[in-house]
Structure formats: C-alpha cells, structure tokens
Structure 1
Amino acid sequence: MGNSMFFFAFWFMILVLGNSDSLSDQEKDRIEELPGQPSNVDFSQYSGYVTVNQQSGRALFYWLTESPTNRDPKSRPLLLWLNGGPGCSSVAYGAAEEIGPLHINSDGKTLFINPYSWNKLANLLFLESPAGVGYSYSNTTSDLYTFGDAKTAEDSYAFLVNWFERFPQYKHRDFYIAGESYAGHYIPQLSQLIYERNKGVKNPIINFKGFMVGNAVTDDYNDYVGTFEYWWTHGLISDSTYKSLQKACEGTSSEHPPIECIRALSIAEMEQGHIDPYSIYTKPCGYTSSLKRRGRYPWMRGAYDPCTENYSSQYFNLPEVQKAFHANITKLSYPWKTCSDIVGGYWTDSPLSVLPIYKELIAAGLRVWVFSGDTDSVVPLTATRYSIDALNLSTIANWYPWYDNQKVAGWSQIYEGLTFVTVTGAGHEVPLHRPRQAFILFRSFLENKAMERSSNSI
C-alpha cells in the first residue's frame, strides 16, 4: 500500500511539473503593464520569443492580446495576424494601427483603446516574421540575406508548433489566419503547410479552420494587369505609359522585374505625382522621407504609410517599452523599424502565383475569404478580381452591395469555396481606414455568414 502511494505521488509530481514548465514559460511572457497604457485595459497580454531554429539561433517575436474578460476568452478562437512587405512588422501595422486593442497616440509614448479591436471576437496573436523583422532576430547574420517565401513559411510553422506547447490552453482551439499585402503569399503557404501536416491526425493541435486576406499579392500576372488597369482608369497615368507597362511588365516577376519594367514603373510614379499610393484620396504623411526610406516599387514592398507609422517607430524603440515586452533581449545592433531595410531587399524566392494553393485548400473545405479596400493603388481591387476570376469558381451569390447603418459599405460576391468582399473608401490597410466595417467583416468571417444585404449594427 505504501509503495503504490509513493509511486502514485511520484508520477503525479512528474505530470504536474512537466505541465508547469510550459505554464511557467507562459507566465514569464505575461505583460504586467505597457508604458502609457490606459487604466481600463481588461484583457491579458503576453509577448516574447519563440526559437524556431536552434542551430542558427533564429527566434521570432510575438504579441498575444486575449479577448476581454467579459467576452470569455477561453471560448474564443485564436487568430494569427501577419503583415507582409516582405519585411514589415505585424506589431507595427496589424497590432498598433489596425486590429489590435491598443493603438499609439501622436506623442509616441502613450496608448489608447481601439473600440473596434478584433480581440472582442477572437484572441489575437501577432507575429514578427521572418527573423530580422521588428524584434525578431537570428544569431546567424547570413540568415537575413537568404529569406524567401519557403523559409518564412517553415519558420512560421515551427513557431506555431512551439508556441502551442507554451500555451497548451490553445491546443485544439479553432484557429484562423488573417493578414494583408504580401501576407497574400505568407498566409496561403503557411495554411498549406498546416493542412498537409494535419493530414491523418485525428485531433490536431493546430485546429486550422481557414484564412482571410486583404489587398493581397496573389498572382503576378493578374496583379500587374489589374494594377495597371486601376492606375489608368483612375486617371493616375497616361495612355502611353499604360501601354508601356503592359508591354514591359506583364508576365514578368514582380519581385525581380526586368529593367524595361522598372523604367516604365518609374515613369508611372512620376506621372502619379505627390499622392499616397496606398490610399489615393487621402493626404500623405511624411511623403518625402517615406519614399526615400523604402521606395514605392515593386509594389509588394512596404505597407500603408500614414503618420501612425512614425508613432510606432518612436514607441517601440523606447527602452521601457522593450523591457515591458520582454523584447530586444540580445541587444540588437540596429533600432526597431516598421519595415526591415535588409530582409525585403534580399528576398530569394517568391512563386509567380499562389492560386494553386487556393485551389488545394478550397477543395479541402477550408474557409477562404478575400477582401479589398477600393482606394488602394498598390494591390488594388481590380488585381484581386482578376486573380479570383482565374480560379474559375462557380458563383453562388452574384455581386451585391452590403450595408452598415443604411449606407453601402462595400460589395460582395460568394463563390463555391470563396467569399469576396470589398470595403468602400478603404485603402491598403482596410482596418485602419474603415475600422467599424472591418470589424463587421471579421465577425461575418468567423460566423461564416454572408455580408448583410440590409442595415446592420455591432
């Protein structure tokens, strides 16, 4: 009797201690309070690093903002948000100026609550990927010059596998991925990895349900055709430049365009003049310095550049902020930036199209939604429509307006296996320009319900 009790106690302690390792790591990542945050924060936050490659010392930084306590975070799904670039930070854009609960004031030191944060609907996980973006790092410098789509997808998958071990309460929870711009490559490729590695697993830890992408780089040929058409039909370029772009660029790689295409793009940029290409009807902020820093072409790189980007650069470089985030633990030799100067400039592989992945995942029954702000000239509505048309999907519900407060908020078309939604008056970052409508869009996605044909409310 005594021996059996001893062995029971021994194995019980092993079980408890084994589980407590992940819980203690989780607690180490808990954010007690961010500098400048308002007093009415009613949700838990965690941030820190997850190693994705021991040999080279690659570690990716994340920020988790759970649902508010009065919204029962334990019952809510988990959403991974990714920004693109390649080389831009999901913390800077997705979290701090789009869908996250805490946005940065113009002083660059204090925060305010986003009333349309998506964490009211899901627990939000923001990832800075690949290494070299934001706070994410590698101890092997050559890594920063050899990233591409495939390596980024593998590292993001490794991150998820290890992150779920640290946060076991999210295992088997409904899981979705969303994002925008060059994440139009990241998201389908990561989704494909998860789907293929879940095959044959009865109760997968990563309980992947589907993805949603906005103003997404999808297919080089259709992206070029649709973008040049948008520029021309919106009066941004001349007839002759439109023809030159068609001749020099269509059918070429957007990541590595030929010199003739680059010349034509430069002429188009000159003709467009002093506008913000990411939101053609709004006043640009820091236009000259922004273009000098990142460049406008090819259009995949960078993200919408409002003044909020400047606030992020200020806030996330504050030593007290980095301490609260458990970030920059290796004391990087360069400052935190919204978009990496190195990573995107040395991108090694980028498939001409991710449409074959769409076909595979649609056939698998995963939920796929695509949305588009209609004032973005970087990855415009027309480009997305051409890409979707190339899938040759059957139409279930033809093009119709959807409403918010008695006003048309956009249009939608429902295909067999894919829902497409536009948001009127929104630029490249839909949740930044139209936060309420973006919230309604995300709610509809989670519920897998068509956008309302009549007035609705939150």
Structure 2
Amino acid sequence: MPFLRWVFNVFVVISLVKLQSLSCSSSFAFNQQQLDRVLKLPGQNFNVSFAHYAGYITVNQESGRELFYWFFEAEENPSSKPLVLWLNGGPGCSSIAYGLAEEIGPLHIEKDGKTLYLNPYSWNKVANILFVDSPVGVGFSYSNTSSDLLSNGDKRTADDNLIFIEKWLERFPQYKGRELYLTGESYAGHYVPQLTHAIVKHNEKNGVEIISLKGFMVGNALTDDFHDHFGVFQFMWSVGMISDQTYKQLNVKCDYESFVHTSEECVKVLIIADQEIGDIDMYSIYTPPCTANFSRLSHLRRSKTKVGLLRRPYDPCTEKHSVQYFNLPEVQDALHVRSRNSPWETCSGLVSENWQDSSQSVLDVYAELLNSGLRIWMFSGDTDAVIPVTSTRYNIDAMKLRTVRPWRTWYDDGQVGGWTEEYEGLTFVTVRGAGHEVPLHKPKQALTLIKSFLSGKSMPEMELVSDM
C-alpha cells in the first residue's frame, strides 16, 4: 500500500506539472493573441462584428525571418467555421495588397487612400480568413539577414510557410484541429500545391494529422510552363486580340525554350503582337486600365512580376489606394508593423528578380495529391490574358482525369456565373467576365464559389421556376 500510495502521489504531481505547463502555454498564446489584436484602423468609420489580428511569426530564428500575417475571424460563429489561408503570388507580391485589400478581405480602401469600407462579399462571411505576406521581403514580412531577400525560391517558400502554419496554430490553439483549406491565385499556383504537398508529407512523417488540411483551390494559376504559354497565344487569337499571321508566327518563333528564354526572333513577333493588342489591361481585357502608359510585352513572356493591377463601381486603380494607405505611419502602428526600412510596396522587384528556383511544372505535384483524398478545385476568370482559361484547360487535360460530371453552366441569382466540369479528384470552374483577380472583378460570384468549395457541393444550377 505505501508503494501504491507513493506511485499515486507521483502521478498526481506529474499531472499537476503537466497541467501547469499547459496552462502557462495557453496563457502565453492568449496573451500574444491579445497583443496582435487590431482594435481599430485609421479611416475606419464603422464598427465590425468580428475580431482581427495582425503580427509576425518567426519562421527562422537564426536568420530572423519573420512573416507578417493578418487574420480575420468569421463574421458569425467563428468556432464553427473552417480556416482558409490565402496566398498571392508574383513571386514577390503581397497577399495583404491584393487578396485582402481588393479581393476577398472584409476591409477595402476608398479612392482617397485614407478611408476604409466594408466588403459585402468578404470570404469571412463563410470562413476564418488568414492572409500571409510570403516569402520574406514581401509586404511587411522581413528578415534580419539581408541575403535572405536574394535567396527566395519555391522550395524555401513552401518550407517557411509550413513552419508559419505550425507556429501560427501554436499562437491560436483554438484553431488546432480545425479544417484548413489553402487558396490563392497566379504564382500561388506554385505556392499552394507545393505547400499542400509539404503538409501532407509532414503529417505522414509524424504519423498523425498535425495540420488538418482538407483541400486547396487556386485561380488563374501558373501551373506548367509549356501549357501556360501555349494557352496564352491561343486565347489572344480566339478573342481577336492578334492577327492570324501573328498567331502562327508566335507558335513557330516562340516555342517553349524561346518563350521562357526569349530569343531574338520571338521578341520580334512579341513586339508585333504588342502593337496589335493596343493599350489594354492584359489582366482584365474588357475593363479600363488604371493608365494607358504601360506595355503588355512583358506579360506575353513567362513573367513573374506583379499579379494584377487592378470597386464600387469597378475601380481599376485599387493598387494605388493600397500603396497610399499602407504607407501611412498610423496604419502601420495599428497593424503592429516592425520593419520600416523602405516604403511599403505591393510587389517586390528585389524578390522576383532574385528568385532562385521555380519549377517548370507542378503537374507532378498534382499527380501525387489527386490520390490523397483532398478536395482540389481550380478556377479561372475568362477575361484574363496573362494566365487565361485556355492555359488552365490544357493543364487539366494533361492530367488525363476521368470526367464524373460533364461541362455545364452554373448560375448565380438566375444568371450564368460561368461554366464547370467535375473530374475524378478535381473540379474546374470558370467565372464569366472575371479577369486575373476573380474576386475583384466578380466578388459576388467569387463568394458563391468559395461557399460551394467549402461545402464540397457542386456549383449551383439554374433554379426551376414553377408555373403554379
């Protein structure tokens, strides 16, 4: 009996120590959350029903790599809603600048660059939304080691983003075990499947579901160099942007190698195509550009620069409003911004110009993930000439998937929202009249899209109206 009592006492002490440790850990996480809480922003002349937080997560202690995040809880019942992570691409472009401030975030910026307004189609109506500026050197993310900004690439971005998610969940333990979905656009066509693959392997390595990833969705996504560029030429020709002769010459002179590593002959044809296209926004060919003083030539190559220029009504200059707003010192104070060595910019040329590794294709990653049981969707705005719908269709065709529900229209409030086809392991959705940044051009339809994706249901069909 004395021995059993001793064992019991030891067990009680160990249990109390563990409970105290867990309590301290939870207390620390809660305190850090409160330090990151954003109470009110300059230019916010209204109250919000949701909590939001902004701050930094250290992804490499030795070099001092810090990723900036901004997190918005769902408008209603956040404890019952999934967690959605959004990434923008470039590479080198800020998810705060694009995904949050002009696409799916709840707070958008007025034309004066100083005032905010509520986005009625924010994705935090259906989910808890997490934005992260990735990799370091993008937006408010930074490193104490300057060489880090010159050595970014696909692999390290995926590794750092995996560490970010793990550490963010430590800071917000109430979201551990919550369903997680990854989303993004453009060059995030690399980031999202690569991060998905890293999470899947991380869970397998540990023999337990550490991160409860359930699926991903990418829009107008850079996927495969060959199919992406081949689809651009066909799209430009099919919508009447270039002549028959130029289309033929592009396919002859700008083959795969000369398109990626542009040859002199290819450049000559691209210049002709540029002249034929005229002064339009290649990211949204039927809407006015912010200015006419730009060239589309760079967009015809495999450009890895800014992912979209571009509401109430449609405003083609939203990027300019973001630049003005996020450079205000009082805004940066409210968001707990640390590094202010240089002006905030929507995209970092330093990051994009020094990108170290970029996979020519992520179709091999899809090949692995399609059998993982994850929900995988691809969507495409059909007025984007940078990574057009034709490119995405060629990429999907290359996967050789079995169709389980054939091509059809989908509807939003009785109007055709676009078209969709469901394959074994993947769903493809087009959004009619949307450019490269689908939620910017068609915010209501984009909200319908994320609702369907998160619910795992098909895109809505036409409602039948009874004669009775």
Question: Normalising by the residue count of structure 1, what TM-score does the alignment of the two structures yield?
Answer: 0.93
Would the alpha carbon gap of residues 385 and 128 (structure 1) be closer, same or farther in structure 2, given more than 3 Å must change? same
Q: Within 5 Å, give how 1:255-404 maps onto structure 2.
A: 256-288=261-293, 297-306=301-310, 307-327=317-337, 329-332=338-341, 334-404=342-412
| Structure number with bigger Rg | 2
Per-residue Cα deviation, 1:367-389 (whole angstroms, up to 9, x for no partner): 10000111110100001001000
Q: Is the 8 A contact 2:274 2:295 kept in 1?
A: no
| Equivalent-residue separation in structure 2 for 1:126 and 1:278 (angstroms) | 22
Q: Of the candidates 154, 161, 165, which is equivalent to residue 149 of structure 1?
A: 154
Offset of 1:275 from its aligned partner?
0.3
- Paired letter, 2:63: S
SS in 2 for 1:62: strand
Q: Of the candidates 88, 91, 100, which is equivalent to residue 93 of structure 2?
A: 88
- Does residue 191 of structure 1 match 2:200? no
- Paired letter, 1:189: Q
Would the alpha carbon gap of residues 325 and 260 (structure 1) be closer, same or farther in structure 2, given more than 3 Å must change? farther
- Which residue of structure 2 lines up, in the alignment, with residue 38 of structure 1? 45
Offset of 1:157 from its aligned partner?
1.0
| Equivalent-residue separation in structure 2 for 1:186 and 1:11 (angstroms) | 38
Per-residue Cα deviation, 1:2-42 (whole angstroms, up to 9, x for no partner): x9898876654433222212221221111111111232311
Q: Of the candidates 55, 58, 71, which is equivalent to residue 51 of structure 1?
A: 58
Q: Is the 8 A contact 1:215 1:379 kept in 2?
A: yes
Q: Within 5 Å, give how 1:419-458 maps onto structure 2.
A: 419-455=427-463
Would the alpha carbon gap of residues 9 and 367 (structure 1) be closer, same or farther in structure 2, given more than 3 Å must change? closer
- Which residue of structure 2 lines up, in the alignment, with residue 102 of structure 1? 107
Paired residues in the alignment total: 449
- Paired letter, 1:61: F
Offset of 1:203 from its aligned partner?
4.5
| Equivalent-residue separation in structure 2 for 1:49 and 1:266 (angstroms) | 44
- Paired letter, 1:34: L
Percent identity (aligned): 54
- Does residue 234 of structure 1 match 2:239? yes
Offset of 1:241 from its aligned partner?
2.4
- Does residue 173 of structure 1 match 2:178? yes
Q: Within 5 Å, give how 1:192-231 maps onto structure 2.
A: 192-199=197-204, 201=206, 203-231=208-236
Q: Is the 8 A contact 1:181 1:300 kept in 2?
A: no
SS in 1 for 2:347: coil
| Equivalent-residue separation in structure 1 for 2:74 and 2:45 (angstroms) | 16
SS in 2 for 1:364: coil
Offset of 1:199 from its aligned partner?
1.1
Would the alpha carbon gap of residues 354 and 6 (structure 1) be closer, same or farther in structure 2, given more than 3 Å must change? closer
Q: Is the 8 A contact 2:87 2:188 kept in 1?
A: yes
| Equivalent-residue separation in structure 2 for 1:256 and 1:183 (angstroms) | 22
- Paired letter, 2:271: S
| Equivalent-residue separation in structure 2 for 1:410 and 1:86 (angstroms) | 28
Would the alpha carbon gap of residues 87 and 256 (structure 1) be closer, same or farther in structure 2, given more than 3 Å must change? farther
| Equivalent-residue separation in structure 1 for 2:434 and 2:397 (angstroms) | 22
Q: Is the 8 A contact 2:93 2:346 kept in 1?
A: yes
Q: Is the 8 A contact 1:407 1:455 kept in 2?
A: no
Offset of 1:200 from its aligned partner?
5.5
Offset of 1:260 from its aligned partner?
4.1
| Equivalent-residue separation in structure 2 for 1:249 and 1:183 (angstroms) | 25
SS in 2 for 1:112: strand
* Segment drifting more, 16-25 vs 149-158: 16-25
- Which residue of structure 2 lines up, in the alignment, with residue 24 of structure 1? 31
Per-residue Cα deviation, 1:49-89 (whole angstroms, up to 9, x for no partner): 11111222111100001111xx2001111000001111111
Offset of 1:254 from its aligned partner?
6.2
Per-residue Cα deviation, 1:245-268 (whole angstroms, up to 9, x for no partner): 222333238665445444433332
Offset of 1:234 from its aligned partner?
1.3
Per-residue Cα deviation, 1:189-233 (whole angstroms, up to 9, x for no partner): 011000111116565231000100001111111111111000111
SS in 2 for 1:60: strand
Q: Is the 8 A contact 2:259 2:266 kept in 1?
A: no
- Paired letter, 1:113: L
Q: Is the 8 A contact 2:410 2:417 kept in 1?
A: yes
Q: Is the 8 A contact 2:140 2:339 kept in 1?
A: no
Would the alpha carbon gap of residues 223 and 12 (structure 1) be closer, same or farther in structure 2, given more than 3 Å must change? closer
Q: Is the 8 A contact 1:84 1:186 kept in 2?
A: yes
- Which residue of structure 1 lines up, in the alignment, with residue 314 of structure 2? none
Q: Which runs of 5+ in 1 are unaligned?
A: none
Would the alpha carbon gap of residues 295 and 373 (structure 1) be closer, same or farther in structure 2, given more than 3 Å must change? closer
| Equivalent-residue separation in structure 2 for 1:56 and 1:106 (angstroms) | 39
| Equivalent-residue separation in structure 2 for 1:126 and 1:8 (angstroms) | 38
| Equivalent-residue separation in structure 2 for 1:279 and 1:151 (angstroms) | 31
Q: Is the 8 A contact 2:97 2:322 kept in 1?
A: yes
Tell me the C-alpha RMSD between the 2 structures.
2.1
